[in-house]
Amino acid sequence: MVVESLVTHTVKYPYKTVPLPNGGFDWLPILRVQLSRGSRVTAPFETVIDSGSFDCLFHADIARALGIKDITSGELKMSGGVVKGVQMKTYGHEMRLVIGADTFKVKAFFAEEMPIAGLLGRLGFFDNFTVTFHAGDEPGFELTRVHKKKQSAMSTQ
C-alpha cells in the first residue's frame, strides 16, 4: 500500500522566454536542475518540462561531465518524435536528479542529437511532482513534490 506523506511543498516558477525565428519569442516551462552520479554533481542547467516525453532525456555532454565516457554503455532505447520515420538512439544510466533541495534516483537517457540540454519527462519527473501550468499574462507553473512511502508490513497488521 502506498500512502502520501503529510507534508507537500509547492513552488511557483515563471515561464522563461526563448527566441523564435523572425524576431519572435516563446514561453516555456523551464526548470533548473542538476544531475549527480557518485561524488560528481553537475552545475545547474536548464531543462524543459515535457509531459510528452516518456523519460528524462539529456544531451550526451552532460553524461560526459559526470564521468560517463561512452554513453552507449547504457540501456539502449529508441526515441521517436512527431516526424514520421525519425528516430534517435538514447542510452539510459542510473543517477540522481537534483531539483532544489530534492534529489531522487532516475534512469536518465542521453543522446548526442538533443538540441537542448534536457527534457523532464514522465518517468523520473512527473512521477515525483504534480505539475500545474498557468497561461495568461504571467505564465508559469507550479511544482508540488509528492512524497510517497511504502507502508511496512507491520503497520498493516
Binding-site ranges for other proteins (CB under 8 A): 4, 6-14, 16-21, 25-26, 32, 42-46, 48, 50, 52-55, 57, 59, 61-62, 64-65, 77-82, 88, 90, 109, 114-117, 119, 121, 144
Is the Cβ of residue 59 or residue 93 nearer to other proteins in the bound state?
Answer: 59
Work out the burial of residue 72: count CB atoms within 10 Å of its CB; fewer than 13 is exposed, 13-18 middle, 19 or more buried: exposed
- The minimum distance between CB 54 and other proteins, in angstroms, equals 4
Q: How far is the CB of 96 from other proteins (least distance, A)?
A: 17
Give, as one character, the DSSP assignment of residue 64.
Answer: H
By three-state DSSP, how is residue 149 classified?
Answer: strand
Q: Evaluate whether 95 touches 103 at the Cβ level (below 8 Å).
A: no
**Shortest distance in whole angstroms from residue 156 CB to other proteins:** 21
Q: Of 149 and 153, which CB lies nearer to other proteins in the complex structure? A: 149
Beta carbon of residue 97, minimum distance to other proteins (angstroms, whole number)? 15
Counting Cα atoms < 13 Å in the Cβ hemisphere of 24 gives 5
Q: Given the complex with other proteins, which of 23 and 153 has the nearer CB atom? A: 23
Residue closer to other proteins, measured from CB, 6 or 154: 6
Full 3-state SS string of 67-129:
CCCCHHHCEEEEEECCCCCCEEEEEEEEEEEEECCEEEEEEEEEECCCCCCEEECHHHHHCCE
